[in-house]
Amino acid sequence: MGGGIGGLTAALSLLRRGIDAHVYERAAELSEVGAGVQISPNASRVLHGLGLADELARTGVKPVALHQRRWDDGRTLARTPLAGPLEAAFGFPHYLMHRADLLAALAARLPAGRVRLGHRLTALTDHGDRVEARFANGARVEADVLVGADGIHSATRGLLFGPERPRFTGCAAYRGLVPADRLTGLGLETTTQLWMGPGGHFVHYFVAGGRLVNFVAIKEQDTWTRESWTDRRDVAEALAAFEGWHPQVRAIIEAVDETYLWALFDRAPLRRWSAGRVTLLGDACHAMLPFMAQGAAMAIEDAATLASCLAAAGPGPGVQAALRRYEAARVPRTTRVHALSAAGKTRYHLPDGPEQRARDAELAGGAGGLSLDALAWIYGHDATA
């Protein structure tokens, strides 16, 4: 269930392993709200294996560095080489992409008729030798395995383990896409730039083959009382939230036509993802803050590992054991990444003072949490093994 990045990657991975797979998506069309996504080597390894290397090279951008900077004066806190050194170390590139480009590339690789739109899951029944899914449009489907890749609002998760509301993390993000030609006067490098400041941080990078600049401007707030997680907001409001920040940060915000304010929610990591012939994948089981840029990558890894486990088991009674192996392989890793992502809220948002100076000294010494050495356990992972 679910036609997002994780669900489409799972379908492609299963088909590549000779396993029949279909995608059931509740929306009337496959779409992504305009935003960027980072595809680190642990994820691009999987996507290259699915035949997407040319498309990623065409629509993605390879950053030359991760540049961490101070919020007000722009001072460099750390600069981690990416591009060539990253690919040499881990064997695959790091891409910066528009989510819609990645989704389109995945969908284009699927055979015709594999994605069924307008199917909202309402019930499921595990019959022991098969699982039956029922949808709001009256359709019924039987399968050997049902995979809930249906996001943080996962209906599959609710049907398996009961209702549970996502948690507001105390952060909200202004997001926007700016035509790159509006920002030529800034002389922006092809880097991921992370600006850290009191109570917030700002990230920007090129996407869409370099035609657009994506930004995410995150600020802490105590509560979220709106019904929607995403609201269109005035650009002036975003500028006010980043009053006093470096002129480059403010110039990028000023150049956008429209900005959206997103509430950032997560879920407590599940210790158990599977029940019988049903399992979960991606945000349905480990929705996390975006502060390690690994949410999509973890879903892509889940898809590859799930396909490997099911292919090794074959059809029949081995399916349930395969789902247990999948869960055992993925839970410790995704839980660790989830914790690091949550810790970024404190680390990136320190007020000026002793703790901030200690963090900056650590970054200057090359021992920060986003150095290549510190991230080797993430970037070097082979989820297809």
Question: Which residue is listed with tokens 């993000």?
Answer: 173
As a residue count, the chain comes to 385
Phi, psi of 21 (to 5 degrees): -145, 140
How far apart (Å, rounded) are the C-alpha atoms in residues 367 and 201? 20
Say whether 205 is catalytic: yes
How far apart (Å, rounded) are the C-alpha atoms in residues 249 and 262? 19
Task: Quote the radius of gyration of the chain (alpha carbons, Å).
Answer: 21
SS3 for 370? coil
> From start to end of 127-258, where are the E strands?
131-135, 140-143, 146-148, 167-179, 191-197, 200-207, 212-220, 230-233
Of 24, 95, 174, 205, the active-site residue reads: 205
How far apart (Å, rounded) are the C-alpha atoms in residues 155 and 368? 38
The answer to whether the CB of 190 falls within 8 A of the CB of 181 is no
Give how far Cα 1 sits from Cα of 123, 145, 172, 282, Å: 12, 11, 28, 11
The residues annotated with a catalytic role in the active site are 205
